[in-house]
């Protein structure tokens, strides 16, 4: 933890030093990235100090979703790369309404809108755009004629489809409320001198595409990359008619966050040409496996399920008094919901219990999933009992329980004694007991007089707890 802090401290001063030559007078006087006075920190400083980048993105089939318990998505992974570059954690806020996302940004609750925002004058008045990361066009989404597969020629299909915007005169088009699609259709009416019936709805673009595919509505509008992705899922739609010229799309920050904006631009410039950027684009926009994911029962846009064992996990979590999504995140961390998982250390099953612990709770490799999870819950209850008199806060206590499940109760107790000896709070996890558990791999700490159980690879339980809670946050974002 101390090394990580020093690295962040160095990076912070390096970023600021590099930004100074390009700063304007507002930057030099300390008003950059803030709304009030010289004493406030810049937005970039706030991100580094709090150790977290807060990104606002939309929940859909490409940007952010959960598949088999794993958070995924193009914008999510790009934002995670940026957070890694800044050496901070990533927190995601989901918001599918663009106006609401802009308000969250302007209120200061989020640092960055990580969506494909079309750049226009109206939005420039409210937000500052990052340099564009690509271009897109607005495409008409319409349904192919019934029986199109059996038509003899392509021309027979074409005569049923709109291929020129002027053919939209008198037609009804459903679009997401307050989006650039509304303004584009209004501009088309002005250009054509006639009317299009625009119906603005609260549904997001992908829901409207689904409704076109199902025949519930006739037309909607979508950005080209979104339309192409959905064409793989709904082969009965057509997405070849452009309604706009190519337009720049970009992320955005709050006006005045200049140091943050420049830092993201610099990162994006280097990321664009990287091998991983290409892999990421292909993964979400060209991956033939995406159709299989789309139809999976464990794809969060189809069903809010994490695994086939959700009902058992919910039942056991209720018995434990935990949010079932936290327990599910822990089980994913242990086994990725695999009932036959085995570790190099000999841990077995969905709860990854060691043989001696399995014997203690009367289970073996022939035990059912329900029996395995129940044994894990009984072990967690036992750990909770060990900490109950020492740690009053039940939410704080959960972190100690999780760490103990991973590394053993004895090593966590050692870290608590070290924390108390060196003036830290033995009842707090972050920056206190977690720090000293990580130090138990160093002789000067594991040989300390208050340490009873010697060496431990404390980095493992530290990451274990962090990763469970990070995944839990994603589950909270998406799973009710």
pLDDT band per the 50, 70, 90 thresholds, residue 315: very high
From CA 196, how far away is CA 16, in angstroms rounded? 51
What letter would DSSP give residue 163? -
Q: Torsions phi, psi of 164, nearest 5?
A: -135, 140
Asked if residue 224 lies in contact with residue 199, where contact means CB atoms within 8 angstroms, the answer is no
pLDDT, average across residues 347-356: 90
Domains in the chain with CATH codes: 2-129+253-294 (3.40.190.10), 138-245 (3.40.190.10), 310-478 (1.10.530.10)
From CA 469, how far away is CA 460, in angstroms rounded? 14
pLDDT band per the 50, 70, 90 thresholds, residue 155: confident
Is pLDDT of 3 > 80? no
Catalytic residue among 81, 89, 316, 334: 334
pLDDT band per the 50, 70, 90 thresholds, residue 25: very low
What is the pLDDT, as a whole number, of residue 17?
46
284-287 long-range Cβ contacts below 8 angstroms, 24+ apart? 284/62, 284/73, 284/74, 284/229, 285/62, 285/74, 285/225, 285/228, 285/229
Asked if residue 454 lies in contact with residue 445, where contact means CB atoms within 8 angstroms, the answer is no
CA atoms within 13 A on the CB side of 264: 30
Active-site residue 396, yes or no?
A: no
What is the pLDDT, as a whole number, of residue 341?
85
Mind listing the pLDDT tens digit for each residue in 202-261? 989 999 999 999 999 999 999 999 999 999 899 999 999 999 999 999 999 999 999 999
CA atoms within 13 A on the CB side of 345: 8
Lowest mean pLDDT among 35-39, 56-60, 104-108: 35-39
From CA 452, how far away is CA 9, in angstroms rounded? 34
Decide which of 95 and 342 is more confident.
95
What is the pLDDT, as a whole number, of residue 342?
85
Mind listing the pLDDT tens digit for each residue in 396-432? 999 999 999 999 999 999 999 999 999 999 999 999 9
From CA 203, how far away is CA 198, in angstroms rounded? 14
Asked if residue 401 lies in contact with residue 383, where contact means CB atoms within 8 angstroms, the answer is yes
Find the helix or strand (DSSP H, E) in which 112 lies.
strand 112-118
Distances (CA, A) of 296 to 27, 68, 263, 307: 50, 9, 38, 11
Mind listing the pLDDT tens digit for each residue in 357-382? 889 999 988 899 999 999 999 999 99
What is the pLDDT, as a whole number, of residue 8?
52
State the chain's mean pLDDT as an integer. Answer: 90
Sign of the alpha-carbon torsion through 75, 81, 82, 83: positive
pLDDT, average across residues 133-146: 95
From CA 310, how far away is CA 326, in angstroms rounded? 12
Buried b (16+ CB within 10 A) or exposed e, 275-312: eebeebeeebeeeeebeebbeeebbbbeeebbbebbeb
pTM of the predicted model as reported, rounded to 2 decimal places: 0.81
Is pLDDT of 38 > 50? no
What is the pLDDT, as a whole number, of residue 40?
72
């Amino acid at each position: 933890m101390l090394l990580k802090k020093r690295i962040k401290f160095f990076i912070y001063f390096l970023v600021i030093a590099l930004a100074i030559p390009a700063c304007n007078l507002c930057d030099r006087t300390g008003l950059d990235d803030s709304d009030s006075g010289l004493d406030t920190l810049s937005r970039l400083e706030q991100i580094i100090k709090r150790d977290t980048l807060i990104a606002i993105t939309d929940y859909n089939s490409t940007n952010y979703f959960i598949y088999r318990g794993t958070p995924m998505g193009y914008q999510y992974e790009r934002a995670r790369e940026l957070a890694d570059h800044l050496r901070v954690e990533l927190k995601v806020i989901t918001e599918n309404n663009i106006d609401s996302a802009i308000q969250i940004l302007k209120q200061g609750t989020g640092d960055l809108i990580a969506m494909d925002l079309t750049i226009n004058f109206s939005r420039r008045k409210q937000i500052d755009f990052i340099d564009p990361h690509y271009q897109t066009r607005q495409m008409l989404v319409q349904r192919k004629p019934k029986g199109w597969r059996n038509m003899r020629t392509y021309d027979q299909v074409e005569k049923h489809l709109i291929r020129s915007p002027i053919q939209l005169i008198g037609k009804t088009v459903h679009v997401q409320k307050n989006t650039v699609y509304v303004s584009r259709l209004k501009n088309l009416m002005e250009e054509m001198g006639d009317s299009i019936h625009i119906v603005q709805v609260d549904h997001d673009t992908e829901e409207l595409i689904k409704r076109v595919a199902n025949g519930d509505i006739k037309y909607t509008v979508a950005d080209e990359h979104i339309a192409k992705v959905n064409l793989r899922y709904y082969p009965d739609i057509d997405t070849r008619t452009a309604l706009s010229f190519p337009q720049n799309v970009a992320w955005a920050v709050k006006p005045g966050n200049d140091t943050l904006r420049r830092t993201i631009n610099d990162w994006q410039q280097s990321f664009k040409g990287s091998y991983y950027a290409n892999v990421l684009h292909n993964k979400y926009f060209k991956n033939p496996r995406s159709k299989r994911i789309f139809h999976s029962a464990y794809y969060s846009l189809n069903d809010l399920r994490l695994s086939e064992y959700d009902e058992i996990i919910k039942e056991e979590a209720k018995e434990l008094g935990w949010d079932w999504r936290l327990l599910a995140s822990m089980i994913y961390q242990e086994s990725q919901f695999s009932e036959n998982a085995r570790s190099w250390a000999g841990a077995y099953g969905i709860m990854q219990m060691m043989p001696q612990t399995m014997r203690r709770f009367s289970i073996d490799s022939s035990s059912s999933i329900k029996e395995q999870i129940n044994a894990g819950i009984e072990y967690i209850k036992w750990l909770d009992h060990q900490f109950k008199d020492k740690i009053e806060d039940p939410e704080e206590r959960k972190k100690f329980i999780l760490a103990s499940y991973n590394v053993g109760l004895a090593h966590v107790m050692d870290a608590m004694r070290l924390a108390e000896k060196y003036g830290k709070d033995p009842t707090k996890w972050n920056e206190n007991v977690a720090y000293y558990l990580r130090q138990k791999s160093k002789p000067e700490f594991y040989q300390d007089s208050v340490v009873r159980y010697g060496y431990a690879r404390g980095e493992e339980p530290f990451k274990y707890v962090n990763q469970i809670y990070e995944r839990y946050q994603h589950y909270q974002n998406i799973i009710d």
